[in-house]
Amino acid sequence: MNTDSAAHRGAGREPHPFAGARPTAGGTVRRTLLRTALTGAAALGASLGAARPATAATPIRDTQPRPGTPGEALRELAAGNRRWRACRERHPHEDPTLRRTLATGQHPFAVVLGCIDSRVPPELVFDQGLGDLMTVRTAGEVLDEAVLGSVAYGVLELGIPLVVVLGHQSCGAVRAAVEAEQSGTTLPAHMQYLVDQIGPAIDHDKDGDARIDATVSANVRVVRSRLAAEPELAARIGTGKLAIVGARYELTTQAVHRLA
């Protein structure tokens, strides 16, 4: 993944400017209950899947060790995006043996919080396969309690070392927020919630399409900062076990680059 910061080269560790209290006992109990419930769901899924015959496929085995640090995870995503941009995708981790293995557990190495836009599926733009990424997708990467809980589960329960907040060029949700503010229009149903959440990130120093494009990046930074300020996530950032980074996907070049 490239970066828009001249001071940052390569895909090393993200600086850890936030710190917070370690998880409380109450949080541990809640996560234990959640783990139990999800384990049961996985077992049910395994029993349902057993009745389906395996499909023919060419095994693609990855002999590389799974990324275990923020820097390693960033480098793996950067390598995958380079393959995607060059149309040399490997489509890893799809073979029948791995599918059976995943029925009993998962060890993803990154959480990607991205937009629902159909042109930006994280597993494709990073060329990753089954069990590699835990993805959460909302219009404009908007946060709510369900999103926060999903990200926290991946980090605190599965030990994932990297969270990427992935915005993208020509985001429709961001455009809607900018245009709604300019016109004073109220959007129907639950879409107004999205506009309200993106609103604080609107860049008023620019106009027209430039305002929308700048707000895409500003919104990523706001969401990233909110996640990094969550006490239990901040505690892991402070110990170097977690990095939360912001990034953009450019539709015109298919490149992902980091936001400073």
Q: Tell me the binding residues.
A: 115, 117, 168, 171
Per DSSP bridges, beta strands 256-259 and 243-249 are antiparallel
The Cα–Cα gap between 150 and 152 comes to 5
DSSP string over 138-197: -GGG---HHHHHHHHIIIIIT---EEEEEEETT-HHHHHHHHHHHHTPPPSTTHHHHHHH
The Cα–Cα gap between 143 and 176 comes to 17
Distances (CA, A) of 149 to 31, 51, 153: 10, 32, 6
Task: Specify binding-site residues for Zn(2+).
Answer: 115, 117, 168, 171
- Is the separation of the CB atoms in 151 and 106 below 8 Å? no
Sequence-separated (6 or more) residues with CB below 8 Å from residue 29: none
The Cα–Cα gap between 191 and 173 comes to 9
Q: Which tokens go with 203? A: 């860049």
Residue 133 DSSP code: E
Return the closest-CA partner of residue 105 out of 87, 134, 131: 131
